[in-house]
Amino acid sequence: DTEVTQTPKHLVMGMTNKKSLKCEQHMGHRAMYWYKQKAKKPPELMFVYSYEKLSINESVPSRFSPECPNSSLLNLHLHALQPEDSALYLCASSQLGGLDGYTFGSGTRLTVV
Amino acid sequence: QKEVEQDPGPLSVPEGAIVSLNCTYSNSAFQYFMWYRQYSRKGPELLMYTYSSGNKEDGRFTAQVDKSSKYISLFIRDSQPSDSATYLCAMTINTGGFKTIFGAGTRLFVKA
């Protein structure tokens, strides 16, 4: 089992819905990330929380908003998504800013209808 | 030109073969190099990471970095059907914060 836990594993939502993805890690890592991955493509960075500071990929639309309640939890709030937002959403954590790699969760497979 | 180039494959080999997976990169400032394995519908799993040029071995896996040629490789010895997955290279640069770029991933099939 992965040490980064993501819930739910699957999510189907309508374009007018509001939903949240959740991520938890217990490795004491100080940085957590949200990535988006489309089929047969590499992961694309969306957000980074590192030492309680948020960094945003400026290409990510505002219908995605991250929240970091504490250093072990990371949420991604979804609102008014589009069908093209359907993808695998991956949470990851790292100790050294990714220098020694990331620990990824299993992902949430999101379908927007 | 992409910062990281990786042949998407697919690459199909018989069980027991030695597999060679490769990435090239254009920015000589990349300092840290990683290989991930991703099974279908799962998150990537870190296999190996390295900083310096040369070889690093872990079981059946060997990571090789040639900074002068901007070329990294992952070798899998005695490949098994369970090695069938997508292999992603990744590399990190310090730009004031750390930025990681992933390759497109190579799909590997190991036939029993």
> Which residues in chain A are closer than 8 Å to B43, comparing Cβ atoms?
2, 4, 88, 90, 92, 104-107
CB atoms within 10 A of CB B80: 12
pLDDT of residue B1: 73
Which of A100, A103, A109, A111 to mutate to probe the B interface, most B CBs <10 Å? A100
pLDDT band at A1 (very low <50, low <70, confident <90, very high): low
Residues 6+ apart with CB under 8 A from B72: B22, B23, B24, B25, B33, B63, B64, B65, B66, B89, B91
> Which residues in chain B are closer than 8 Å to A103, comparing Cβ atoms?
46
Mean pLDDT of A27-38: 94
What kind and span of H or E run contains A87?
strand A87-94
pLDDT band at A2 (very low <50, low <70, confident <90, very high): low
Q: Which portions of chain B are predicted below pLDDT 50? A: none
